[in-house]
Amino acid sequence: MTCTLLMRSSRRICIETIRRYLPASSKMIYSAAGRNLDTASAPQSHCGTKYSDRTLTSYRTYHQQSSVAVETRPQVWLITGCSSGFGRRLVTSALARGDRVIATARTVEDIKIPSSPNLNVLQLDVTAGFEVIKARLDQAAKIWGQIDVLVNNAGAGYLGMLEEGRSDLLEKQFKVNVMGTLDVTSAALPHLRASKSATVVILGSRSAYTTERAGLGFYSASKAAVHSLGETLSVELAPFAIKVLIVAPGAFKTEGIYRQSFFTANSIPAYDELRNIAMKRFSAVPGTQKGDPDKAMETVVDVVKGEGKAKGRPWPLYLALGDDADEGIRQKSTKLLRHVDEWGDVIKGVNFDP
């Protein structure tokens, strides 16, 4: 296959090489289980194309440089969901680094952040549909003439049994967490492409890996979906030097995280016992979280700017935050690897006979 080469900032990027070497979910799984995917199975070709050492070295060098470069000029952040939680703290952290922030929320009066010449607030409902969102983001880009960092933080969590909530509750959940994320990102991308150093941050969740919990299906499915979107975006946006960061936090002590009540409008008696157990488990969480949201968002800013804890490190596609996030990823990875180890002969025994 002939690789398509694009020119940006005097760098030639081979799309097929990007596909092969950008981090993917399989790398995360192997790393979490203590395996090195690059050394275990890193062929020097893809789709029938053999890459020269020079081509591979050039891409690795490009990716490493773009990962650790520290932006010296003030960056302009656009952050969704800034009325509370991670969003509000992220605004404060970015401002403290000397950057400019466009803080958005469905209701701007709910954004309780001290005024600053580097802060501008904007009303934005991520469920309003692409055309409405695009008009708002075009307006936002005119404030300082650019958008360098987009943070998809706005979200909601709906708890309920899958059969009881059905597709109605799933659609409601996805409209905020998935469609909202994609619409905001799509509307922002023309402005991000115009930036010399742009980043898309997606607030996912460790719940994408801890899905085997009654009552969590709608929320965890939405977070697994945005993780997948982020992985694909990391490949599609690489030719434009736009980096993607998928943040997977565990449980953090933020306001209103469990504001949505457990769905019981369509109760099925067969689930009464399991539903009650799930409801008690979720209601016991608030106030017990070990995660410090201020530290978490400081870490996100470190990574985006290549400072502090991230200084000198290569760009991570994923940023897991919290002991429970670490544990959840390791358990999921181990389970999947155990499956392919134990069932390997069956898994690989379904090809056509030679």
* Tens of pLDDT, residues 167-206: 999 999 999 999 999 999 999 999 999 998 899 999 999 9
How large is the average pLDDT for residues 4-26?
A: 39
Active-site hit among 21, 158, 209, 223: 223
Q: What is the pLDDT of residue 258?
A: 64
Task: Please provide the average confidence, as pLDDT, over all residues in the chain.
Answer: 84
- pLDDT band for 254, please (50, 70, 90 cuts): confident
β-pair partners for 242: 198
Mean pLDDT is lowest, of 20-24, 216-220, 270-274, for 20-24
pLDDT tens for 329-343 read 999 999 999 999 999
Give me the percent of the chain exceeding a pLDDT of 90. Answer: 73
**pLDDT number for residue 278:** 96
Question: Annotated catalytic residue: which of 21, 30, 51, 219?
Answer: 219
Between these two residues, 56 and 154, which has the higher pLDDT value?
Answer: 154
* Residue 259 scores a pLDDT above 60: yes
How far is Cα 21 from Cα 60, in angstroms, rounded to an integer? 8
Residues of the chain with CATH 3.40.50.720: 73-322
Return the pLDDT at 223.
Answer: 97
The yes-or-no verdict on residue 209 having pLDDT over 50 is yes
pLDDT at 257: 62
Q: Is the dihedral of CA 209, 212, 218, 221 positive or negative?
A: positive
Quick: pLDDT tens for 146-165: 999 999 999 999 999 999 99
Higher pLDDT, 32 or 317: 317
50-64, 188-202, 312-326 — which is least confidently predicted? 50-64
The percent of residues in the chain predicted with pLDDT above 70, rounded, is 79
pTM here is: 0.81
Q: What is the 3-state secondary structure (H, E, C) of the chain?
A: CCCCEEEECCEEEEHHHHHHHCCCHHHHHHHHCCCCHHHHCCCCEECCEECCHHHHHHHHHHHHHHHHCCCCCCCEEEECCCCCHHHHHHHHHHHHCCCEEEEEECCHHHCCCCCCCCEEEEECCCCCCHHHHHHHHHHHHHHHCCCCEEEECCCCCCCCCHHHHHHHHHHHHHHHHHHHHHHHHHHHHHHHHCCCCEEEEEECCHHHCCCCCCCCHHHHHHHHHHHHHHHHHHHHCHHHCEEEEEEEECCECCCCCCCCCCCCCCCCHHHHHHHHHHHHHHHCCCCCCCECHHHHHHHHHHHHHCCHHHCCCCCCCEEEECHHHHHHHHHHHHHHHHHHHHCHHHHCCCCCCC
Which comes out higher in pLDDT, residue 239 or 258?
Answer: 239
Looking at residue 72, what is its pLDDT? Answer: 64
**CATH code at 73-322:** 3.40.50.720
Residue 262 pLDDT > 90: yes
Is the pLDDT reported for residue 3 higher than 90? no
Whether the pLDDT of residue 73 is over 90: the answer is no
Annotation says 219 is catalytic: yes
- State the CB neighbour count (10 A cutoff) for residue 127: 15
